[in-house]
Each structure stands twice: as C-alpha cells, then as structure tokens.
Chain A
Amino acid sequence: MTTAQLHGNGVDASGARPGWAINVDGLTKLYGRGCHHCLETTGPARDRNVCPHCQTTVACAGVSFELRPGHTLGIVGESGSGKTTVLRCLYGDMAPTAGTARLRDFQNGATDIFEADGQERRRIRNFLLGMVYQHPRQGLNMQISAGGNVAERLLATEWRKVAAIRERAGSLLGRMEVPLMRMDDIPAHFSGGMQQRVQVAKALANGPSVVLLDEMTSGLDVSVQAGVLDLMQELQRDEGIAMVVVSHDLGVVRLLCERTLVMKNGRVVEGGVTDQILEDPHHPYTQLLVSSVN
C-alpha cells in the first residue's frame, strides 16, 4: 500500500463522485482524558496501548484506508489491537476521538459522517451501513422472530407494507439458507450458525453500500463457517457491496479479502494485497502472526 493510500484522504474537491465506497482517514479512539504523550508513548514500537502518563487507553490511532465498491478489506490482529473499535466507530456505536470517515453514498463523500447530525447519522446507519457483530445477541433481538428481526431493520427505513416486508425478509432469509418454516421462530432457539446467517440477512436488508463484519465466523465450526463465507462471496459478487472484515483468522481473510491491514496496539503496522501480506509480510508482528498459522 502506498503512502498516499494510507494517509491521503483522496477527497476530490470538485465534488465528483469518488471511486471509493468508503474513505477513512486518521481514525482515533481514546478511552480516558488523554494527554500530549498518549500517542508517542503507545503503539507497536512500545508494545502497549495504555499511556503511562495518564492511563488513557489508545484503542486505535491514525487508522486510514479506502475501499472500492464490491471489494473487501480485511483487518487482522490480536485481541485488543483495536480492530473492533474501528468498526464500532464507523457504525456509530461509539464516537471517535479524531479522524474522518466518508461514504460515497452520503453526499458523494463530501461530508465526514462523524460530523453528521443525529438524524443524518441514524439515516446513514439504517440505509448505508450494515453490521454483523461477533456475538449474534449483539446484533439480534433474541426474543422476536427471525423475520421480525429483519423487518425491524426495514421498518427503520420507511418500509410500511406488511406483505412487502414479509416478502423481503423471507427472500433474504432464504438466500441465507434459513428455512422459511423457521422465519417465525425466535433466534434464541437457533444454532449459532443460523443466528449468524439471520444477522447477515438483517444487515443486508436495506441494501447497504458498506457492510462491517466483526469476527463473523469465529464462533462457528468449520463446515458452517465455509457455508457462511460462500454466501458472503456470492453477495459480494452479485450486489457490489464493499465489506470490511475484521478477523483473527487468516484463512477467512485469505478467502474473502483482496486487501488486508494488520493492526497491533491500536495502529496499522502494515497493509497490502492479501497474498502479499500473507506470503511476504514485512513487519515483525505480521511475520509472527503468519508464521504461527502456516
């Protein structure tokens, strides 16, 4: 990955529609009051993400990337490297401390979504983004039916006709290989794999342009994983959705992602074409990560 890709925000001042689906620049999230030393005293070189001066946790800092429609970016790294924080900030589950994020489908990328007002932010979350959480209970209401979960999302975006909502929910769940006869069952009674597929159906309900996936398959056994990953690839090809896939599983990243970023202690240490990251890793941490699975 070139310096321009990592650091330039690539925003065209002329207002033309950008080539990327999402552009993130300098995303930073601190937990704590923060001080002047937080960034220089944390990171991979210091091997810590808690500032020794003020005890602030630097969850992520200076994370930048852009991603084209129909492409998938992997973010890999160990627990606590800041991967999930990046997704949470983008989806609006938490506010970043600094940085910008732009979506092509939000004012042609001219406006930072973190600057959007509450109503716009909800619109972005409901119409333009989809999120699949690591734990299905974070993304699903376990006590309403599978169909109801998908419908809830559709209602948030002004679908009003019950028959149309049922049809859309049914077709999405069918696509996710959730049997139609189980559409009216509650997810609490589903297997883990099926819960995850309901979550994917819910995330895709409104035809988002960017879908964020957080360790989507990590709780599933291998054969179920393969099924869910197949479906994701099919969707990616057919719908041209841009996906950001956070995973600690390099096999998942190899399968789904054209490009990969490697994070450690809240920073991106390396980024590139996925097979290059896996076969010719440069950063010591990436070499360690790759050598411990191959």
Chain B
Amino acid sequence: MGPNLLRVRDLQKEFVLHILNNKRVLAFRDITFDVPACSFVGIAGRSGSGKSSLLKCLFRTYLADGGSAIYQSAAGDLVDLTDAPDDSVLDLRATEIGYVSQFLRPLPRVTALDLAARPLLQRGVPRAEAHEVVSRYFERLSLPRDLWDGYPILFSGGEQQRVNLARALAARPRLLLLDEPTSALDSGLQLEVVRLLQEARADGVTMVGVMHDTALLDELSDEVITMQDGAIVERQAPRLALAQAAP
C-alpha cells in the first residue's frame, strides 16, 4: 500500500427539505478515514446508516455540508472533492474517478456495448478497441452474447448491474466507488466480481465499496468501516481480525 489517495476528514451531510417545512435530515457526520493507494476500504452497515450518501458525497452527486475529502490526482494535485469547481469534478470523473451505482441508468437507443464503452469513447479510444475491452468484461461476467447489441433499458436488474460493472472496470479509474455492485447477482457471479475487483486492485485501482454481504466485504477489504446512524462505530482490518481469532 502506498500513500493515501483519499483523505476524508470530518465529513458531514445534512439534507434540508424545503418542501417539508425545512425539515432537516442528517445523512452522516464526523466521518474521518484514509484510503491508501491500491487498497480496498469496505463500508458496512444497515440500510439507512448513511453508506450510500457517503459515496455520493465523494462522487459529488451530493454536496457535503462540512469537512473535506482530499483526493490526490494523477497530476499530483490535492483536490477537495467537496468544493472543487464543477469542471474539475467533471474532469476527474472523465479520467480518474469511477462510480458503480446499484442501478444502471440506461440511455435510450444505446446498446450495452456502446453504453459500457462510453467512458472510453469519450476519452477518444477508437470504437473497435473500446468494444474489445468491454467484451472481455462482458465475457468474464457471463453476460449472454446476444444481449451485447441489445438495449439495457430492457435488461433484468442483474444484467444491468453487469453492464454497469463492465463499464466502470473497462474505464480503469484510479479511484472506484462501488455501491452494492453485486446486490442483484447470484453467488457464482458475486465470486467472479470479487475476483475481478481483486485483479483491478492488484492492477492499481483504489476502491471504496459499500456492500451488504459481510463475507464478500471481508474477502475484499483491507479495512472495514462500519457505520450506524450516520456515524462510524467500528473499524477493523478483516484479515488481521480473522488471523487473531484463529486458534
């Protein structure tokens, strides 16, 4: 593990719902952790504990209200993802920071191959080459070949999730944020996803992943952070913990 790729300090998110008489809803507070380069930090916790909101703040889909998330870019700049200019955020998303959501947002009339190849195409990679990279992931994820030219808007949840994963992995980001990437997959496919993520990590992709399945999370993570009611309640290094627990 190298130096920290991401340093999160006292991060806080609260929603103010103006249409509900300015009701305030706290998503999380006082979140502090480091993500060393080439590591996998897992985030565990029950539904509603603030895990997904945390990832969205790191991707800037949500605006944090307090604290910072300092990312070290490929160019060596330290960028606070919570208040960097929009264009900087867009640049990082295009080249360095990926996000796999639970649900794919399919585009009308865009095939699975083109959708998954999109980040590469937008970087100027020739179409044939981009399709080849994506195909390899489709194959690994056992996405039936007759779906490759189909429209993901018609796919099942599990098929969409595989398109989503292929898209993120093909783009080979420096930092990949994963929100329940295996929730709609059967156990055989889940294990294949674990292998793919381990390969990506070995290849230099740093990851922060939210997963319900604690066994998968332990398998993948260098550190597991457990959240409850919007706060961190536990941190542990799973392999170390397992080794200590062994007789």
Contacts and interface: CB of A to CB of B under 8 A. Distances in A.
Given A272-B63, A273-B60, A279-B62, A5 B85 contact: yes
Nearest to A233: B107
B240 interface: no
B40 to A, nearest CB: 25
B126 to A, nearest CB: 13
B122 interface: yes
Contact of A1 (B15, B86, B121, B122): B86
Contact of A2 (B15, B85, B109): B85
Contacts of B18: 283-284, 287-288
A271 B18 CA distance: 17
A229 interface: yes
Interface in A223-271: 226-227, 229-230, 237, 255, 258-259, 271
Interface string A62-84: 00000010010000000000000
A1 B89 CA distance: 10
A276 B108 contact: no
A199 B62 CA distance: 37
A276 B63 contact: yes
A258 B19 contact: no
B60 A237 contact: no
B107 A255 contact: yes
Contacts of A229: 108
Contacts of B83: 2
Contacts of A237: 121-122
Interface residues of A, number: 27
Contacts of B15: 280
A254 to B, nearest CB: 8
Contact of B90 (A259, A282, A284): A259
Contacts of B243: none
A187 B86 CA distance: 40
Interface in B86-137: 86-87, 89-90, 107-110, 121-122
A4 interface: yes
A275 interface: yes
A291 interface: yes
Given A230-B108, A275-B61, A288 B86 contact: no
Nearest to A4: B85
A4 B84 CA distance: 11
Given A1-B86, A2-B83, A287 B19 contact: yes
Interface in B47-82: 56, 60-63
Contacts of B61: 273, 275-276, 279-280
Interface string A1-32: 11011000000000000000000000000000
Nearest to A254: B105
B245 interface: no
B1 interface: no
Nearest to A255: B107
Interface string B14-47: 0111110000000000000000000000000000
Given A258-B90, A287-B19, A291-B19, A280 B63 contact: yes
Given A280-B15, A280-B62, A282-B63, A259 B86 contact: yes
Nearest to A66: B87
Contacts of B87: 5, 68, 259
Contacts of B86: 1-2, 5, 258-259, 271-273
Q: Which of B63, B85, B109 has the most CB of A within 10 A?
A: B63
A226 B151 CA distance: 13
Nearest to A291: B19
Interface string A119-130: 000000000000
Contacts of A271: 86
Nearest to A1: B86
Contacts of B19: 284, 287-288, 291
A255 B87 CA distance: 18
A230 B114 CA distance: 12
Contacts of A68: 87
A84 to B, nearest CB: 24
A227 B109 contact: yes
Q: List the 9 shortest-distance A-B pairs measured between CB atoms, nearest first.
A: A284-B18, A226-B108, A280-B62, A275-B61, A287-B18, A273-B86, A279-B61, A2-B85, A258-B90
Interface of A: 1-2, 4-5, 68, 71, 226-227, 229-230, 237, 255, 258-259, 271-273, 275-276, 279-280, 282-284, 287-288, 291
27 contacts: A1-B86, A2-B83, A226-B108, A226-B109, A227-B109, A229-B108, A230-B108, A230-B109, A237-B121, A258-B86, A258-B90, A259-B87, A271-B86, A272-B86, A273-B61, A276-B61, A276-B62, A280-B15, A280-B61, A280-B62, A282-B16, A282-B63, A283-B18, A284-B18, A284-B19, A287-B17, A288-B18
